[in-house]
Chain A
Amino acid sequence: MKHVMWAVATAVFCAAPVWAQDGLSGPDAFAGIADEQARSVALFEEMGKVLTHPRCLNCHPVTGGPTQGDDMHPHSPPVVRGEADFGAAGMNCNVCHGTANMQLTSGSGSIPGHEPWSLAPVSMGWQGASLADICTQIKDPERNGGKSLEDLHEHNAHDGLVGWGWEPGEGRTPAPGSQELFGALTRAWIDTGAACPS
């Protein structure tokens, strides 16, 4: 009997909607906000925990090259953005960054990698920007690479380089939650009118 109870309890627990994962709440957590616009803003603010996490910000600088680490210090060795957001001629990102994270053989930690690997364009830089400004910027096709809201959902929910933020390799704190949850939040934000914080 005890076993059955445990089995039932486990099944119920596993089938329950995902309310929160490692510091990120799912859309259900905002269902109680009656006003749709306010709910939308709250959903975006939750997305903001990912958007302003160092794993995302480090490659969304406003002008120059990338930063590194949870304290977002300048990249070492020094690198520049370059014309294609891919470093300098003769020293582009792929000089070090490969197709996947690589565990360092000498010492601890890893070199991050993914295919493709590059900086976000300047128009998508938001280091230091307020959440309200990031929200306006992210929705603006002039600045977001011509993306519709649906494209934005696709990007947040399925883009591999975005997904890297949750699998950043040894020595880096992953972005909060999961890409699945971030995608679900984006979906719910769009469905509630994609409102921005003021």
Chain B
Amino acid sequence: MTTFRVNGRDHDLDIDPDTPLLWVLRDELRLTGTKFGCGIAQCGACTVMLDGMPRRSCVTPISMVEGSEIVTIEAIEGPEADAVRAAWTAIDVPQCGWCQSGQIMSATALLQAIPKPTDGDINDAMAGNVCRCATYVRIRQAIHDAAKTLEG
């Protein structure tokens, strides 16, 4: 049995301890906002918040989340997440959208750590989130925009 909390709800699942969290989120809990891109920690599409920190769910065995609190794109909230969401929609950052829940998780985590990130901070924090539609320019813009709204 693995006991953990996802988006404020407790779960008790009898599941192979090696099962990746991403599989559990999508196949068991039907939270399909978190995407599978590579399964090998190379793309960032599967990023969720694990105990308040970003985490690639494709390389997180379910045994590792025992007693943890997980937040996915379906429920992320707070000043930084709200600012990111507003900035993202204001300039229509997504193209196909596949990578975007991961992008939003990483951008939120960055703003939580550095409220006014430089281009360099953005490069470093977002380097693990790949976008095959190459929306990088808008992602950068939206992070700067979100930082500005957080200032006020």
Contacts and interface: CB of A to CB of B under 8 A. Distances in A.
Interface of A: 76-80, 82, 88-92, 94-96, 98-100, 102-107, 109, 111
Nearest to B112: A90
Contacts of B114: 89-90
Nearest to B121: A89
Residue in B40, B56, B109 whose Cβ sees the most chain A Cβ within 10 Å:
B40
A92 B106 CA distance: 11
B97 interface: no
Contact of B23 (A77, A102, A105, A107): A105
B59 A98 contact: yes
How many residues of B sit at the interface, in one of the four size bands?
35 or more
Interface of B: 18-20, 23, 38-42, 44, 47, 53-56, 58-61, 64, 106-107, 109-110, 112-114, 117, 121, 124-128, 130
Given A99-B64, A107-B39, A90 B125 contact: yes
Given A77-B127, A96-B59, A98-B61, A90 B109 contact: yes
B55 A90 contact: no
Contacts of A99: 64
A104 B18 CA distance: 10
A-B CB proximity, top 6 nearest: A106-B39, A90-B125, A90-B110, A88-B124, A89-B113, A77-B128
Q: Name, among A94, A96, A99, A100, the residue most crowded by chain B CB atoms within 10 Å (CB to CB).
A: A96
B57 to A, nearest CB: 11
Given A77-B128, A103-B18, A104-B59, A90 B39 contact: no
A145 to B, nearest CB: 25
A94 B59 CA distance: 11
Nearest to B111: A90
Nearest to B54: A95
A143 to B, nearest CB: 26
A159 B112 CA distance: 33
Contacts of B47: 95
B113 A105 contact: no
B40 A90 contact: no
Contacts of A98: 59-61, 64
Contact of A104 (B19, B40, B110, B112): B40
A96 B41 contact: yes
Contacts of B56: 95-96
